[in-house]
């Protein structure tokens, strides 16, 4: 068994695609029209055949209260591994990304939390040597 696809709810799929590709650095993988929405996924450029992240439309009525509760409690909807949180924080902050938690040493790892501009908090994490 392996993870092939996971999803994150987004307010606007096209804006999310721009953010996840142009700012975070993912690569568009699938873009299949489905009425007003699309089966829209991104992948890591380091693993183009690896797990896909589905940019899922947030239209279901249960999504807003769920995401609002997560954000209010500061809980990220997703977590992405990076080589160096401090370097990634600096790169993204220079691009105008808003962080709700700066790089924080939590013992064996360093984490930071950013706002993806699409309704979610996202945590980045790197393992310390």
Yes or no: say if 40 and 31 are a contact pair by the CB < 8 Å rule. Answer: yes
**Given this model, what pLDDT does residue 70 score?**
96
Query: Domains plus CATH for the chain?
Result: 5-127 (3.10.180.10)
Reported as type and span, the H/E element at residue 17 is helix 13-18
Q: For residue 42, give the nearest of 34, 12, 87, 51 by alpha carbon.
A: 51
Measure the CA–CA gap between 72 and 83, rounded to whole angstroms: 28
Tens-digit pLDDT profile for residues 60-93: 999 999 999 999 999 999 999 999 999 999 999 9
pLDDT class of 129 with cuts at 50, 70, 90:
confident
Which one-letter DSSP state was computed for residue 83? S
CA distance 54 to 13: 10
Rounded CA separation 27/46 (Å): 10
| pLDDT tens sequence across 21-75 | 999 999 999 999 999 999 999 999 999 999 999 999 999 999 999 999 999 999 9
For residue 24, which of 42, 36, 47, 5 has the smallest C-alpha distance? 42
pLDDT for the residue numbered 23: 97
Q: Which residues are CB-contacts of 20 (< 8 A; sequence separation ≥ 6)?
A: 26, 42, 53, 55, 116
């Amino acid at each position: 068994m392996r993870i092939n696809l996971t999803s994150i709810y987004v307010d606007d799929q096209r804006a999310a695609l721009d953010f996840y590709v142009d700012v975070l650095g993912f690569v568009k993988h699938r873009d299949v029209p489905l009425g007003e929405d699309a089966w829209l996924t991104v992948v890591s450029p380091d693993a183009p055949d690896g797990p896909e992240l589905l940019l899922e439309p947030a239209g279901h009525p249960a999504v807003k209260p769920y995401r609002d509760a997560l954000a209010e409690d500061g809980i990220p909807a997703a977590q992405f591994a990076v080589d160096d949180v401090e370097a990634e924080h600096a790169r993204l902050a220079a691009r105008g990304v808003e962080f709700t938690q700066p790089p924080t040493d939590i013992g064996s790892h360093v984490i930071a939390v950013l706002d993806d501009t699409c309704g979610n908090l996202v945590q980045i994490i790197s393992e310390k040597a």
